[in-house]
Structure 1
């Protein structure tokens, strides 16, 4: 009990630091910057090309693609869908949807299998961006095939980028939350991401000072074309499995400004109805996030245990153990840490319109993420690496690490 009490006190100290010293990561107020009063924003709308990499997306395309074709954008815009070797008729379906709904012009392209050293998505983006450059657009909107946009989404993204001088504007799409497992896992996924990459740290603009964090959400990225060219995107990040973070870092290295926030007008429509579906989503890239390092894996596992699992264990142990000061310390420290954990999780649950009663279950979700991360490492060492839609990437993210 003495050891548990000490660890519970350490966990409480960590949670106090997370509450106040980690960029207020738990707040959900980082939304697309308003620009109603910015002069000249709406006078001359720039040309935008929307690039959509797609591989076997026929199931979601009827909902996502029309949302892009029907964008109420005042300037010139078009859509390029890059069919990455689909076997389910994705390209033909895209053409059919364009003929049915009209709207923005659509081009469907097929680049063939990726060259060595390229991930599939970045290979598709390379082909799509190359086609887009022939139109000399001021901005590129890189968006996934499972992302649905409200009609004014593109206009708001462009207006925010121009008004605030942002080179990369990224919104983390609101993920689908319908089934029991989605309710348990999905809000926590965004919560953990924000804890790892605090949005305030990413978005803070202090001249002469280096940003404390850099990241983006690959489902919705508006990128200034000149900055993309200067940063060598996507060639400079061609081996990255976690491509969105790598792209943001490349933009930052090239002197560009990056902004990331939670979306209000952009939604992911991909379903993850079973735990196995969510497990694959996380485990395919979790070990890559740790740079395929056993040392980082061990540290992450220990951190998850101390920060997320010890508090409820200490709270219950202190409650049911024989009386005494040590048991009381363990119980109260564990309970306080657990309360802080649940309290910081509640804003994300509100954003996802979920019951706040899910907040005390965050330790259970953290345990699932720990197991998913260990499974990701095991897959890597078995030679299965980061697998996605029939492709396996076994190499570390060399481009990102550089």
Structure 2
């Protein structure tokens, strides 16, 4: 058999394994588990790290202020050195809208060895400890809008399941062209790396969370030593979940129904930076892992359409048929995510093109790392970021 035939057979075998042996990662029915309201609603501190978020805050902060929560809840927005008036805008929104109490404070520049977001989270958690005796912490990004019952449902799920960490992958915006092409694949690839069903099993070895919406039991945070134990983490949500899990905590991760990101990515550049800033960190900054990842992406995602086209041009039937079968399985696994994002299903066969873009983003992430630029985000650059402590 030709090399193309062998590669197409390998790709089909990989897709059969991904379809059946990777925790059914492609399914999108992992939502908040069954829950019953607690007899006594625990107190919650909502910590919102915010750096230059004036553009999105009017669409997100009012949703937190308006939370319909039966217990005590208070918001701590940490203005992380913003230059666009984020803190002042937050105070004005709270004064105009009312709702939950809001405290706005600033932690100053990050301490040595800290990423900016985790430094802000640390400050917010310290504020919460000094002002409340909150039993839970809701860590949510400044671009996340919550339905009015979001906090209530999260707390009920944690209480009912005895969970120390409950995280929902917010539904990202898919309005612009590049958002529609790249965003559903971003969540699809994340679920492939960290199958939600594997994360949610008792005594699981796979740990992950989605940083935009994390409900964390305060005692579990203390036991895990977070955020101090993960202060260098660029992929802070996954590192947080690992720390909680390793300290004996139960974690849960799923897709959200009414928790949405309102951050716009009108062009390819913003999405590119979002992915590339942490892609090489996910690979532990290891060149061999990078090489293996690129080869794997090529065999799994790019080989099927190449085999189909090459087989059609050369008249080789086997690579054409096998490549088409692999492409069909790939397309089928992507359909549920497109449905979740309410995107037309005809775009599912375009996944290989999107995967090629992600491969280039990963390579660019490595290039920036070796140029000393590391994970650059909102004016800060971490020359040698760490994926985990």
> Shorter-chain-normalised TM-score: which range?
over 0.9
Q: Aligned match of 2:314 in 295, 303, 321? A: 321
CA distance in 2, matches of 1:244, 1:390: 21
CA distance in 1, matches of 2:112, 2:45: 27
Q: Report the equivalent of 1:92.
A: 88
State the Cα deviation string for residues 168-223 of structure 1 (Å, max 9, x = none): 00000000001111111000000000000000000112xxxx41311000000000
Partner SS, residue 83 of structure 2: coil
Q: Report the equivalent of 2:167.
A: 170
Q: Report the equivalent of 1:190.
A: 187
Q: Report the equivalent of 2:39.
A: 43
TM-score in terms of structure 2 length: 0.99
CA distance in 1, matches of 2:40, 2:291: 53
CA distance in 2, matches of 1:309, 1:330: 13
Q: Report the equivalent of 1:270.
A: 263
CA distance in 1, matches of 2:123, 2:355: 38
CA distance in 2, matches of 1:396, 1:143: 22
Number of corresponding residues: 388
Q: Aligned match of 2:48 in 40, 44, 52? A: 52
Q: Aligned match of 2:220 in 215, 220, 227? A: 227
Q: Report the equivalent of 2:332.
A: 343
Instruction: Give, in angstroms, the shift of residue 395 of structure 1.
Output: 1.8
Query: Is 2:234 the counterpart of 1:241?
Result: yes
Equivalences for residues 148-159 of structure 1 within 5 A: 148-159=145-156
Structure 1: stretches of 5+ with no match in the other structure: none
Partner SS, residue 145 of structure 1: coil
Q: Report the equivalent of 1:109.
A: 105
Q: Report the equivalent of 1:130.
A: 126
Instruction: Give, in angstroms, the shift of residue 321 of structure 1.
Output: 1.1
Partner SS, residue 257 of structure 2: strand
Contact 2:54/2:84 (<8 A) preserved: yes
Structure 2: stretches of 5+ with no match in the other structure: none
CA distance in 1, matches of 2:295, 2:76: 45
Q: Aligned match of 2:139 in 142, 145, 150? A: 142
CA distance in 2, matches of 1:105, 1:356: 44
Contact 2:375/2:385 (<8 A) preserved: no
Query: Is 2:29 the counterpart of 1:32?
Result: no
Contact 1:291/1:396 (<8 A) preserved: no
Q: Aligned match of 1:364 in 353, 361, 376? A: 353
Partner SS, residue 291 of structure 1: coil
Instruction: Give, in angstroms, the shift of residue 315 of structure 1.
Output: 1.0
Partner SS, residue 142 of structure 1: strand
Contact 1:125/1:234 (<8 A) preserved: yes
Query: Is 2:208 the counterpart of 1:215?
Result: yes
CA distance in 1, matches of 2:28, 2:201: 15
Contact 2:38/2:159 (<8 A) preserved: no
- Give the alignment's Cα RMSD to 1 decimal: 0.9
Q: Aligned match of 2:273 in 257, 280, 284? A: 280
TM-score in terms of structure 1 length: 0.95
Structure 1 stretches of 4+ with a deviation exceeding 6 A read none
Q: Report the equivalent of 1:3.
A: 3
Q: Report the equivalent of 2:247.
A: 254
